[in-house]
Amino acid sequence: MFLYSYREELIKPIDEEIKKQNQKLKVITKKQTFSESSKDKLIESLKRRLATLEEENKKKITPSYLES
């Protein structure tokens, strides 16, 4: 009952902010379209990064006296 008696002061500002945030999200998702070549470049970049991280991880896990 409390919220209904102060709708203008409490709920309306929250609703307005939610609407603003939703509009910002729509803009972000529209901009995030990739061409095929940029997708391929991104995938290759991520593969290289993954390989680098796996190599670093191996070095941390494998004791130095076991490395050949």
Q: Is residue 48 part of a domain?
A: yes
For residue 39, what pLDDT is reported? 83
Tell me what the mean pLDDT of segment 1-27 comes to: 75
Tell me the per-residue pLDDT of 16-32, one tens digit each, with 9 for 90 and over.
888 888 877 766 656 66
Tally of domains in the chain: 1
Any domain includes 29: no
Provide the residue range defining the domain that includes 55. 35-59
Which has more confidence, 25 or 45?
A: 45
- The CA distance from 48 to 54, in Å, is 10
Residue 40 maps to a domain:
yes
Round to whole Å and give the CA distance between 7 and 11.
Answer: 5
